[in-house]
Amino acid sequence: MKLNKLIIPLFLSVNSAVIYANQNASELIEPIMVTIPAGSFQMGNTEDEDAQPIHKVTLTEFSLGKYEVTVREFRQFVEETDYEMPTKCIHQLNGWFNYGETNGSWENNSLNTSDFQPVNCTGWLAANAYTQCLAKKTGRPYRLPSEAEWEYAARAGTTSKYYFGDDLEQALVCEYENTADLTGENILQRDSSTSYVNFFNGKSNCVDHAAYASIVGMYKPNPFGLHDIVSNVVEFITDCYKDNYKNAHNNGQAWIDNDCKYRVARGGSWHWNTFPVSQRGVVGEDFVGAVEGFRIALDGAAPAIPSNTVKFIKALKTAQRSEQLRRDAVLPYPATVTNLKLDKEAGIITLKWDKSSQSDIESYRIYRNAATGGVFKLLAANIIETTFKDANIDNHQYEYTVVAVRHNQQGDYSNVVKTPTSWVHAPG
């Protein structure tokens, strides 16, 4: 089962009604909107059953948030309305996400560190309430986007797997999106002894400089001017989820029924490698997790930017500039170790590899898993030589890989070597 299609209903009790402080002009920050031109596209794909049949959709002009809604924007909504937010969220890393509720909220969880990251731990209900409040305060009918609007805007006139091409080597994505990359791999191994390798759809072969959610707008936009549309956090959609496109609207309207327990989710997050723009996700209305967020939609052209949003833009630019300076100061990651070889003799594994050509490499780390396809765990660190012996083995078929280390940053994994398969004697 595709992980982004796992349905994890928690059925948290969340108020669905918003208590508005007043009916006057709102002090809420209005989102920075981008006008999406009218047009048509072929929606769906031939790889996923729930994305069929492929059908033509024609949309009128609409607007979409340039960025995902941030913690700072959402804070004003909560403070003004006293909306009852969830106090538990799936957000702790424990051999990957612990699929149980843990203490944490939209403003206090271990994965958010900036007011300018996309807000998470809200759930679909609170995200929708935010749009309703914003609409009522401004007089503009802000809402969550429909599924067709999202895919059309994410494609931005392209027909490739992603708006920046098919990227078969997964080497280009880090210029455009925050995804599972070498930065995240470093942090996951350091903090949680977990790995993107052999996890779901793996990791990209590049560096995006964000281990978790990124401050919005740090990567190149798509041709429509939208940032982080494919991957930063998964985005909530208005549509109720159904498992195919039969009888789907051809005008871009959301598909809604009277018993809507599950909603469509679109895009990926820092937690997974990149999903194609046509791939669908699904989430329970009551599910509250740390890799889901949202952006805002609006009929017609983008409105003029109000003064309170101008202030937000200035603060965001300051945060983006500081974050870019931090990223620019990060040294390049060490080159990948090459030519790893394995020899087994007298119950001892000997590993050998080529010495790094980079003169400032400080040491090497050895990773091992106890089964093909398992998660690599750190076996040894601070290895100075280019050889290592492992006598702590049994009849498992182990896999090994080696990384070079410099300034506590490790490069990508070397080629993988494995021990020979052992004979297993069955009784009789």
Q: What is the pLDDT of residues 115-134, one digit of tens each?
A: 999 999 999 999 999 999 99
Pairing mode, strands 262-266 and 280-284: antiparallel
Grade residue 19 by pLDDT with cuts at 50, 70 and 90: very low
Name the residue with higher pLDDT: 63 or 259: 63
Q: Is the model's pLDDT at 226 over the cut of 90?
A: yes
Residue 40 has pLDDT above 70, yes or no: yes
Q: What is the dihedral of CA 214, 182, 188, 173, to 10 degrees?
A: 40
Task: Check residues 236 and 104 and name the one with the higher pLDDT.
Answer: 236
For the cut 50, the answer to whether the pLDDT of residue 92 exceeds it is yes
Assess whether pLDDT exceeds 60 at residue 20: no
pLDDT value at position 425?
A: 52
Structure confidence at residue 302 as a pLDDT band (50, 70, 90): very high
- Read off the amino acid at residue 241: Y
Strand partners of residue 349: 344, 390
Give the pLDDT of residue 393.
86
What is residue 100's predicted lDDT score, i.e. its pLDDT?
72
Can 3-326 and 341-418 be said to share one CATH topology? no
What's the confidence (pLDDT) of residue 96? 64
Judge if the upstream peptide bond of residue 31 is cis by omega within 30 degrees of 0: no
Fold of the domain built from segment(s) 341-418: Immunoglobulin-like (2.60.40)
Whether residue 11 has pLDDT greater than 80: no
Average pLDDT, the chain: 90
Answer whether residue 4 shows pLDDT above 60: no
Q: What's residue 330's pLDDT?
A: 94
Is the pLDDT score of 25 beyond 80? no
Q: Between helices 123-138 and 71-81, what is the axis angle to 10°? A: 80
Would you say residue 217 has pLDDT above 70?
yes
Cα–Cα distance measured from residue 247 to residue 55, given in angstroms and rounded to the nearest whole number? 10
Average pLDDT, integer, range 187-216: 91
Q: pLDDT value at position 147?
A: 98
CA angle 138, 229, 251 (to 5 degrees): 70
Q: Token pair 């909306």 is at which residue?
A: 83
pLDDT at 219: 98
pLDDT at position 233 over 80: yes
pLDDT score of 422: 62
Which DSSP category does 306 fall into? P
Torsion-angle region of 370 (φ positive above 0: left; ψ -120 to 50: alpha; else: beta): alpha
Percent of the chain residues topping a pLDDT of 70: 91
Q: What is the pLDDT at residue 428?
A: 54
Its pTM surpasses 0.75: yes
Beta bridge partners of 363: 405
Fold type of domain 3-326:
paralog of FGE (formylglycine-generating enzyme) (3.90.1580)
- Where exactly are the structural domains of the chain? 3-326, 341-418
DSSP state of 106: T
- Lowest mean per-residue pLDDT among 174-183, 357-366, 371-380: 371-380
Largest distance between two CA atoms of the chain = 84
CB 201 within 8 A of CB 208: no
